[in-house]
Structure 1
Amino acid sequence: MINNQDDYIQQHLNSAQIVNTVRHSRYFLLSILLVCLYIYCIYQLHYHPADSYFNLWFILTEIVVSMCWLISTIHFKPNAYKLETAHRWLQTQCLLVGICIAVGLFTIYFHLPQVNPAFEQVEALTLTGLLIMVTQAFGLTYLTQKLSYFCLVFLPSLVPFFYLQITELHSINPFISLALNFSMIVILLCANSTYRIHRRTSRLYAQNNLLVTNAEQQVSWTDELCKQLQTEVNKSKDIELQLQLNNQLLEQKVRERTFDIEQINRALQDQHQNLELAHEIAGIRPWDWNIKDRKITLTNFKQEQIQRNSREHQAQLHHLIHPDDIAHFRAMMKQHLRGLSERYEATYRIQNTQGVWNWVHDIGRVISRDPKTHKPLRMVGIRRDIQQERNSQERLKLAASVLEQAAEGIFILNNELRYIEVNPFFEHLSGFERHEIIGKHLFDITANHKSQQRSIHSSIIKQVVKIGSFDGELNEKFLSGKEMPLWLHINAIMDDEGRITHYIGIVSDLTERKLQEQRLSYLENYDTLTDLPNRFYYNYQLHQYLVTQKDSIKQMAVIRLNIDRFRPLNEYLSNNGGDELLRQVAQRLRLTNAEALFVAHLNGDDFAILYEISHIRPSVQEHCDRIAKAFTKPFNVFGQDYEITVSMGVAYYPEHGRQLDYLNNCAEQALAEAKNLGGNTVYFYSNENTALLEQGIFIERDLRKAIQNGELIVYYQPKINFNDQSIYGFEALIRWNHPEKGIIPPGMFIPLAEQTSMISEIGQLVIQQTAKQIRKWNEQGFLNICVSVNIVALQLRRGQLIDDLDEAIKANGISGSSLELEITESSLVENSETVKNVLNQIKERNIKISLDDFGTGYSSLSYLADFPIDILKIDRAFVSKIGDCKQEAIVSAMVAMGKAMGMIVVAEGIENDQQMSFLHKLDCDIAQGYLFAKPLPEQQATEYLEKNMEPETYTYQV
């Protein structure tokens, strides 16, 4: 340990100042060279001719500074010079630089303006200010390790300024003088502050080094003291044993040994603090029990000795020790005190200050007994906190238990990939006992006869060695004879320095999982009733044939097969009988289509067959005939024979399509044609229907987008009263405003919409837009306007129509009498009772019902009597043929019948005055047709209404 720390710090501080200044002075000298060169170049570029004194100053300054830099660089290399020599050199160097700067200031400010009139005083002041400020700034940066070095540069530079203030006080601006003096003072203060900062930093660094040195020395002394303590402890034990064995001799020689014992006690006291530190680090708390005097000395958690009465200590132990451990503690203590055990040793739990139970290990021994009675007189011991060890042991036990009980195969490898431990489940998986596995390499217990297996094992080992892990599936056959699919996971275990010490492996048996995957795959791809591929697998396989095997299959036929009149037969047979029939049909198809690529059960009684067309195979017609012939034999269902026939539709690849959906559509169309022909036949798809099919597909696709994009709009065709030619109302007609094709009439898309659910969406849209338009007309004062909307059978059957009407009426605040629903005769054919209930609910809302296209459908006069119809609408097909006697008779009969039943009669499609005049004579009520106006968009319909009808005085209320 360093005795005089202040001298050491001062010496280190002085050395650091000189060494750092030597290193930094090189950069300072380079900076002075550059600044002088910069000032010289500026003057030479702007003023001619050059001045010899100024040149002489520049050359001498550059030479002096350069020589100083060379000497500092070459002579004063790190750790190669004496500090005193370096100090003297730095003083000389700084003084020389300061003199050069002072001479430069004299030359620039006093000499140059005299010899060069063009060089003004302000410019001289600027250059001198530049020189002094820059040099002092670099001085502050590099020379403030020691203030004397900076002053040797700074003080000579002040001479020109002092001289300037003395000699030219009358000509110089006082503010400039004040500013210069203030700047010099600030620079000097900054230098002093920087010096103090450097000095404080160096002092702190020296103190840190000193503390590190002292700490290292303290550690060394501590180690020596520990060794001495151990030696002394051993000596103390020897002495105590000797005392016990030579008790009589001790009495005789007590005076002789007293001095020696006192010396030993002093040495022990000297080492007492080190012993306490060692106890604290080891978590040991010694105790000393004087049984004779009933006193016990303890050491608390602060390593402070506490003396208690034995009875008080026992009472406190009763509260500190866990109730379950008190009996064990007392039994061990009594056993040792009675001399039945060599030493006392007990492990129990005590409660700490936070109320937590911690495990401790208590060891003690009686060191003094009465020589006559052998009763214990004194006992010493130590108590050690083993909670952390206990936790570690519990974790190890738990880990071992997990390893033993795990339902996965677990093994441990050394860094050479050899087994050092396996769990019982791994023994079960591999079929080997533990002793047969330990010591073998990773894949020594598996079969490696095949080159592919050896290659897989080699790649796994390379990956494990390279990146320390592997995770993957493989099929393994163990040498014990067991073979199964496995999932192998291996991870490397590394030590604190990142070196691999072991590998942990987990092996899972995938046998059950593979079986589950097979079962799931079957359920996903096969129909459980017929054991044939289902629709999903059929589409997937057809796609594979169309896309991935184009080169191998040049032509193919898609055959769609359907049982004729299966629905009534299924109802007759019941569900079980229908299922049995489908199973037998599937079995017969499987037997008769051995040459087919694929046989699938799509749904219900719908089957599909993929057949490759080749010159070495029978033709498609022959193949279909063979299927039909196979179905001429009856099917026995629950003891009863049934004869069935099938219809087949055939489409060819690639003639009829190259895409899955398109080819299926062609086959379905062909099947539909076969059913239309009465069944029990084969129909081959014709290319003549291709254009219609494409058009239907494209219209359906575009129509769905049109509904979403709001391309459907409502036109309004006026209805006129025959008597006074006034406007009765309008008929709402849907139009499609296609972004590319313009307005598309309803005849192009309504039939297609009626085949899908889109007709309901279109009907809902028409009702909503019509209700909004009625509201607008009501707000404009046109109150008694009735607008009719066409309704199809699907809307009546779906049950959504009433809700749509209620929503439109409520949202727009209109009256139900403003609406009229036009229903075709075909809507009344099926579900007549259901339709009647819907119509009655419509009537309850004051909405009129019109029978549209009367006479063109399934005409039945019973409809007029059974259903709540208000309006009878004569179709344009009859109106357009007025002039023909027979047609006129039909029209006259229709009008007369409607009037007789108290209905309003509407004639649509009126295009000329003859038709108008004829219908007027028949006392027809309402006219509609191009004679008055074609269907008009919203704005034009409003203008038509304003032109032909005066608005009523009305204040509209919602």
Structure 2
Amino acid sequence: MTYNQDEYIKQHNHAAQIANTLRHSRYFLVSILIICLYIFAIYQVYFTHQSFYFSIWFIFTEVFVSLCWMISTVYFKPGQYSLQIAHRWLQFQCFSVGTLIASGIFLIFYYLPSNNENFQPIQALTLSALLLIVTQTFGLTYLTQKLNYFCLAFLPSIVPYLVAQFFFFDETNHLFNLSINFGLIVILMCAMTSYRIHRRVSTLYAKNNLLVENAEQQVKWTDELCQQLQDEVNKSRDIEMQLQLGNQLLEQKVKERTFDIETMNKDLENQQENLVLAHEIAGLRPWDWNVKERRISVTNHKHEKSLRSSKDHQIQLQHVIHPDDVMHFKTEMTRHLRGLTDRYEATYRIQNSNGKWNWVHDIGRVITRDPNNKKPLRMVGIRRDIHQERTSQERLKLAASVLQQAAEGIFILNEELRYIDVNPFYEQLTGFSHEQIIGKHLFDITANYKSAQRSTHYSIIKQVLKMGEYDGELHEKFLSGKELTLWMHINAITDEQNRVTHYIGIVSDLTERKLQEQRLSYLENYDTLTDLPNRFYYNYQLHQYLVSQQDSIKQLAVIRLNIDRFRPLNEYLSNNGGDELLRQVAQRLRLTNAEALFVAHLNGDDFAIVYEMSHIRPSVQEHCERLTKAFSLPFNIFGQDHVITLSIGVAFYPEHGRQLDYLNNCAEQALSEAKNLGGNTIRYYSNENTALLEQGIFLERDLRKAIQNNELVVYYQPKINFRNKDIYGFEALVRWNHPEKGLIPPGLFIPLAEQTSLISDIGRIVLQKTAKQIRLWNNLGYNNICVSVNIVAQQIRRGQLLNDLDQAIDDNQIDGSSLELEITESSLIENSDSVRNLLDEIKKRKINISLDDFGTGYSSLSYLADFPIDILKIDRSFVSKIGENKQQAIVSAMIAMGKAMGMTVVAEGIETEQQMQYLQDLDCDIAQGYLFSKPLPQEEATIFLENNISAPTYTYLI
């Protein structure tokens, strides 16, 4: 019956869709006529230019649409057409109209703008969009009885826009395309919705027709029965009198029987309702399997019965039963069907509509078997959803497992705070068994002898009863003898009416953690070698003295100690011996500083003492002298006695500072001064040292900025040839042009730069500037000028000198012979082989090498023989003392030795005519000094060069 009803509804819907579409398509065609006429009229009125193809399209569209309207009106009258022919005609009509609309859009959007200059693209977009949107709106209104017809008209009409978006992407309005696309999608969605509504209404109409037909059939059958009854009444009239008495008796019995049946029916109905309610509550779904006819009746989750074939039901079960449970289901069913078990019973998982797996319990029994072969004929059963029960059981098992396996103590109390359950870890913590704990009050298992402990327990119980929770640290001693530090967390559990039913507590053992914290605190604050406080704890404790105890401590002395010559002694003793020495030093400091506030080992061989100064204690000087005296006794290290001395630096609070860092710095400066004096002495901090230190720090900071800001300039002091008084060259001398302090001489910043890496940066800058100046002089025609540049030991040791030289020569395109490097004797002391190799590389670049400050070093004569030195430069300290017999003899010997070795001799610092005449008589080669000129900036040096050299030969760079 269900199948026939569905088939009837399907056929009725199909016929109704065709009939309704035929009726509404006429209005659709009229709408197409109107919109095409409207667009054509707009174009003709506003754009007078005629278009042949557009006119042809309009005429053809109007004629074709009119013919379609006439055929639909005349030929397809209600009840006079074949559904198949009408269906084909509607498909053809919709597709043709959609194609015509697409052609019109193509002509308006692509053809008319190119054919008519007055017809702008935006106007083409507007008219084409109007044609598309209006036609699709009419199609949405009249063609959605069947979605196929609407799509046949809709899809061809949007082809031009889709083509434009993919093939004319750069020429289209992207915002317009996005808007049109969105509108088309909305129209298509509306069409689908309208189609579903029409189909639902048609289905309801078909069902109503079926109900009407059924009602009419029932009325017909009722009439037939009434007619038969009337015939029977007519026949019974003949014997009515004879059976009147019997009828009366029979009526009485029928009434009694009817009353009994009605009573039974009511009871059965009540029982049926109760059974249905019970099935709903218990989640039972009965099923009835007719094995012989291969039909099965099942009940779904909405308690609606459905009948299907056994094969379809088996296929469905294979898809919904979990793959791991299919074999169990088949095995249990097969065993029961064969009579091996009294009933069928299986538990398995099925997949619901959401894709999740739910557990069910299936029970059934064969109620009818063939008497001959005992084959089953009918089987009934019930399937029950046990997913919630199964989940609850698993959760209970998991909770029980967690309770048993948890590495935290867990207990459960009733509303009176008495134990009702504990886990094994809590038994292990307390030292009591499960039976010994159950029934006791929360703190009955702890020792409550002390009033403080009883007060703590009382406050905890009061907070739990009042607030429903407690969280805190406890130190408990249990009656079992165990004493632990615990962290206890208690929470109340309430029912639906928010009444407290139980309390759950979690206890963590903090005993080991506390021990670890103590160990970590010791490792963090104490030195493991000497057992003295380390630098971190020293700074912290000193800060506390300076800040937190200013009212109680008025004066402090920070004493810094350092072992003299500890490094060579440590190398001699080896690491183990050095460690043993530090341990003994720490022990002696600990014994001799009983009155001190603090003794600390900062690092290596550095120690510190914090000493409070007061009238009841010895003075700081007496205390330090006592330290020195205590360390005069030898230390026995591995059987050998060693006497060590200490360098001691002292700073005072609050005279020298009130802040931790500043006070420590003052003590370190005093210690550094003691070390510089050779050690084994006591030095007190002085403000004069701070001024010098600050001056050096600020100078270093400004010098770094000067290098970055290009504040360094090069001055040039001329060198004169003794023979012809011509200019031999210049010496490049660096000056610092400070923006605030003006010109700073090199004597103030060069020594500081030599203590840092800044001297190498300064040397690189001087080389670059000198090479650049040589290039300028070469361009002016002064090609034989040689400029000397001072090189310090750090530049040689850092290994960048050759790269700096090559870069300066290459960048400025000068010859190596234009450069001269002045190297001091101190640069040649160490690494003689590496220095010799470096000088050889420099000579390969045709660069002259001059030995500066000759006679002031350590072994001058050996350098003259071992290194490739071209020029010997006599220091100004010898030249300034010419006139003294001994000094004149030294100068004479230097010049004679240099001449004998084939070197050029330069005398610097010439300031008097007497000095010049003496050197000239000794046949010295080059003269330099204030007698000729002071160091000049580059502009003045160029003027000096022009005034002292005539008729230069100019060369030009290409």
TM-score (norm 2): 0.60
The residue aligned with 1:75 is none
The residue aligned with 2:694 is 697
Deviation at 1:905, TM superposition (A): 3.5
Deviations 1:142-190 (Å, cap 9, x if unpaired)?
A: xxxxxxxxxxxxxxxxxxxxxxxxxxxxxxxxxxxxxxxxxxxxxxxxx
The residue aligned with 1:774 is 771
Going from structure 1 to structure 2, the CA distance change for 1:350 and 1:832 (only over 3 Å counts) comes to same
Deviations 1:287-334 (Å, cap 9, x if unpaired)?
A: 112345554223467877554555776687577655654564456557
Deviations 1:32-60 (Å, cap 9, x if unpaired)?
A: xxxxxxxxxxxxxxxxxxxxxxxxxxxxx
The residue aligned with 2:207 is none
* 870-879 or 305-314: bigger deviation: 305-314
Going from structure 1 to structure 2, the CA distance change for 1:674 and 1:721 (only over 3 Å counts) comes to closer
Going from structure 1 to structure 2, the CA distance change for 1:725 and 1:325 (only over 3 Å counts) comes to same
Deviation at 1:347, TM superposition (A): 0.8
Which amino acid in the other structure matches residue 693 of structure 2? G
* 917-926 or 410-419: bigger deviation: 410-419
| Aligned residue runs from structure 1 range 28-39, under 5 A | none
Deviation at 1:356, TM superposition (A): 7.0
The residue aligned with 2:149 is none
Deviation at 1:700, TM superposition (A): 1.5
8 A Cα contact 1:563 1:644, kept in partner:
no
Deviation at 1:541, TM superposition (A): 3.4
Going from structure 1 to structure 2, the CA distance change for 1:704 and 1:260 (only over 3 Å counts) comes to farther
Which amino acid in the other structure matches residue 872 of structure 2? L
Provide the rounded CA distance (Å) in 2 between the counterparts of 1:775 and 1:467.
86
The residue aligned with 2:873 is 873
Provide the rounded CA distance (Å) in 1 between the counterparts of 2:527 and 2:909.
55
8 A Cα contact 1:717 1:934, kept in partner:
no
Provide the rounded CA distance (Å) in 2 between the counterparts of 1:462 and 1:698.
68
Provide the rounded CA distance (Å) in 2 between the counterparts of 1:340 and 1:851.
118
8 A Cα contact 2:720 2:729, kept in partner:
no
| Aligned residue runs from structure 1 range 819-830, under 5 A | 820-830=820-830
From 707, 711, 715, give the equivalent of 1:717: 715
Provide the rounded CA distance (Å) in 1 between the counterparts of 2:673 and 2:743.
33
The residue aligned with 1:682 is 681
Deviation at 1:898, TM superposition (A): 3.1
Deviation at 1:566, TM superposition (A): 3.5
Deviation at 1:706, TM superposition (A): 4.0
8 A Cα contact 2:728 2:786, kept in partner:
no
Provide the rounded CA distance (Å) in 2 between the counterparts of 1:635 and 1:602.
21
The residue aligned with 2:549 is 549
Which structure 2 segments of 5+ residues have no match? 1-253
The residue aligned with 1:56 is none
Going from structure 1 to structure 2, the CA distance change for 1:838 and 1:594 (only over 3 Å counts) comes to farther
1:571 aligns with 2:571: yes
Aligned-partner SS, 2:646: strand
Deviations 1:495-522 (Å, cap 9, x if unpaired)?
A: 9999998876654433333333333333
Deviations 1:463-520 (Å, cap 9, x if unpaired)?
A: 9899988776565555655444445566788999999988766544333333333333
Which amino acid in the other structure matches residue 748 of structure 1? L
Deviation at 1:602, TM superposition (A): 3.3
Provide the rounded CA distance (Å) in 2 between the counterparts of 1:378 and 1:660.
98
Provide the rounded CA distance (Å) in 2 between the counterparts of 1:815 and 1:414.
101
Going from structure 1 to structure 2, the CA distance change for 1:880 and 1:704 (only over 3 Å counts) comes to same
8 A Cα contact 2:415 2:500, kept in partner:
yes
Provide the rounded CA distance (Å) in 2 between the counterparts of 1:623 and 1:471.
52
Provide the rounded CA distance (Å) in 1 between the counterparts of 2:807 and 2:501.
76
Provide the rounded CA distance (Å) in 2 between the counterparts of 1:485 and 1:351.
52
Aligned-partner SS, 1:852: strand
Provide the rounded CA distance (Å) in 2 between the counterparts of 1:956 and 1:489.
90
8 A Cα contact 2:345 2:363, kept in partner:
yes
The residue aligned with 1:854 is 854
Provide the rounded CA distance (Å) in 1 between the counterparts of 2:815 and 2:269.
114
8 A Cα contact 1:557 1:611, kept in partner:
yes
Which amino acid in the other structure matches residue 610 of structure 1? V
Going from structure 1 to structure 2, the CA distance change for 1:430 and 1:810 (only over 3 Å counts) comes to farther
Q: Percent identity?
A: 67
Which amino acid in the other structure matches residue 865 of structure 1? A
Aligned-partner SS, 2:572: helix
| Aligned residue runs from structure 1 range 424-823, under 5 A | 424-433=424-433, 475=475, 477=477, 481-487=481-487, 506-638=506-638, 640-654=639-653, 655-668=655-668, 670-671=670-671, 674=674, 679=679, 681-685=680-684, 687=686, 690-704=687-701, 706-708=703-705, 710=708, 713-723=711-721, 724-726=725-727, 728-735=729-736, 737=738, 739=740, 741-755=741-755, 758=756, 760-768=757-765, 770-772=767-769, 774-775=771-772, 778=775, 781=779, 788-799=788-799, 801=801, 820-823=820-823
Deviation at 1:608, TM superposition (A): 3.1
Deviation at 1:703, TM superposition (A): 1.5
Going from structure 1 to structure 2, the CA distance change for 1:844 and 1:498 (only over 3 Å counts) comes to farther
Deviations 1:760-811 (Å, cap 9, x if unpaired)?
A: 1342244136415633652672666655444443444455555665666677
8 A Cα contact 1:715 1:935, kept in partner:
no
The residue aligned with 2:298 is 298
8 A Cα contact 1:410 1:505, kept in partner:
yes
Deviation at 1:624, TM superposition (A): 3.8
Going from structure 1 to structure 2, the CA distance change for 1:385 and 1:837 (only over 3 Å counts) comes to farther
Aligned-partner SS, 1:554: coil
* 781-790 or 945-954: bigger deviation: 945-954
Going from structure 1 to structure 2, the CA distance change for 1:720 and 1:427 (only over 3 Å counts) comes to same
Provide the rounded CA distance (Å) in 2 between the counterparts of 1:346 and 1:603.
77
The residue aligned with 1:57 is none
| Aligned residue runs from structure 1 range 124-523, under 5 A | 285-291=285-291, 293-299=293-299, 305=305, 307=307, 321-322=321-322, 325=325, 328-329=328-329, 332-333=332-333, 344-350=344-350, 358-365=358-365, 378-387=378-387, 390-391=390-391, 393-410=393-410, 422-433=422-433, 475=475, 477=477, 481-487=481-487, 506-523=506-523
Going from structure 1 to structure 2, the CA distance change for 1:437 and 1:791 (only over 3 Å counts) comes to farther
Deviation at 1:268, TM superposition (A): 7.2
Q: CA RMSD in A?
A: 5.1
Going from structure 1 to structure 2, the CA distance change for 1:939 and 1:720 (only over 3 Å counts) comes to closer
Deviation at 1:691, TM superposition (A): 1.1
8 A Cα contact 1:562 1:606, kept in partner:
yes
Deviation at 1:533, TM superposition (A): 2.8
Provide the rounded CA distance (Å) in 1 between the counterparts of 2:737 and 2:444.
76
Provide the rounded CA distance (Å) in 1 between the counterparts of 2:441 and 2:937.
87
8 A Cα contact 1:764 1:804, kept in partner:
no
The residue aligned with 1:893 is 893
8 A Cα contact 1:369 1:376, kept in partner:
yes
Deviations 1:690-719 (Å, cap 9, x if unpaired)?
A: 313322234224523541463673232324
Deviation at 1:821, TM superposition (A): 4.0
8 A Cα contact 2:286 2:298, kept in partner:
yes
Aligned-partner SS, 1:722: strand
8 A Cα contact 1:716 1:941, kept in partner:
no
Which amino acid in the other structure matches residue 716 of structure 1? V
Deviation at 1:416, TM superposition (A): 8.8
Going from structure 1 to structure 2, the CA distance change for 1:368 and 1:728 (only over 3 Å counts) comes to same
Which amino acid in the other structure matches residue 549 of structure 1? Q
Going from structure 1 to structure 2, the CA distance change for 1:736 and 1:524 (only over 3 Å counts) comes to farther
Deviations 1:789-846 (Å, cap 9, x if unpaired)?
A: 4444344445555566566667777666565443332333344445445544555555
Provide the rounded CA distance (Å) in 2 between the counterparts of 1:464 and 1:379.
60
Which amino acid in the other structure matches residue 775 of structure 2? N
| Corresponding pairs, count | 695
